[in-house]
Amino acid sequence: MNWTEILEGLEKGTIRAANKIDGKWVANTEVKAGILEAFKAGELKEFSEEHWHGFVDKHNLTPRSFKPEDKIRMVPGGTSVRRGSHVASGVIIMPPAYINIGAFVDEGTMVDSHALVGSCAQIGKNVHLSAGVQIGGVLEPIGLAPVVIEDNAFIGAGSVIVEGKQVSKEAVIAPGVTLSKGVPVYDCVNERMLGADEPIPERAVVVPGSRPVNDKLSWAKEAGLSLNCALIIKYRDEKSDSSLELESFLR
């Protein structure tokens, strides 16, 4: 496929920048290479359309627009959805928000104000991306899997998820949590530390935490300093399910 066919397929959702194969998310290198080719083929232009007047980007990456029959609610106020991203029926996008090329946002998901869905990020069904959430993009290297948020997960306000970290179904990320390969995650329920490439387990409830510095940083240890981490403090139960239930009338 050429880059034009790849961007069209991404928008329709017929192809994706990553796929779950045998239980593991794997990057679609052909798709990611096609996106990079689109950038290479693009030439800078000033957009003259009323809503985009004065903006400059690649001529072949014009922002997407939607119609009522798409059943996508993109509220006015500075939101942009870039070409080559898929936004499914029932998605709500509050302003300002940004969905980048290669991203996949599935049915019923809420993308709240000041939220970023980075390039090639995969967002499942009925996910709530709260205000200020930053979902990092992963275009290069092309073999690296992107950030993945699976169905029915709840991502709290101001959380940052980057470097291809993956959040499994129905997990809850509390406000202010940072997930990256350099931030350890401790499962306090099962008394273990997750591996750097290990996804957040299904239905896990993750909160911000801290840990003391190790002996190699003796000055910092003596000063009582600590490092950032994330803690799984419980797994979802009926009480947490009811508090996170999405209201269907909003959709």
Q: What CATH class is the domain 3-250?
A: mainly beta
* Residue pLDDT tens, the chain, 251 long: 899 999 999 999 999 999 999 999 999 999 999 999 999 999 999 987 767 778 899 999 999 999 999 999 999 998 999 999 999 999 999 999 999 999 999 999 999 999 999 999 999 999 999 999 999 999 888 999 999 999 999 999 999 999 999 999 999 999 999 999 999 999 999 999 999 999 999 999 999 999 998 877 888 888 889 999 999 999 998 777 776 776 565 65
By three-state DSSP, how is residue 168 classified? coil
Query: Distance between CA 11 and CA 87 in Å, rounded?
Result: 7
Query: Distance between CA 27 and CA 41 in Å, rounded?
Result: 22
Distances from the Cα of 74 to the Cα of 78, 103, 114, 124, 227, angstroms:
10, 16, 13, 18, 39
Cβ pair 161, 122 in contact under 8 A: no
Confidence (pLDDT) at 6: 98
**Angle of helix 29-41 versus helix 3-12 axis, rounded to 10:** 120
Q: Per-domain residue ranges for the chain? A: 3-250
Confidence (pLDDT) at 54: 81
By three-state DSSP, how is residue 229 classified? strand
By three-state DSSP, how is residue 247 classified? coil
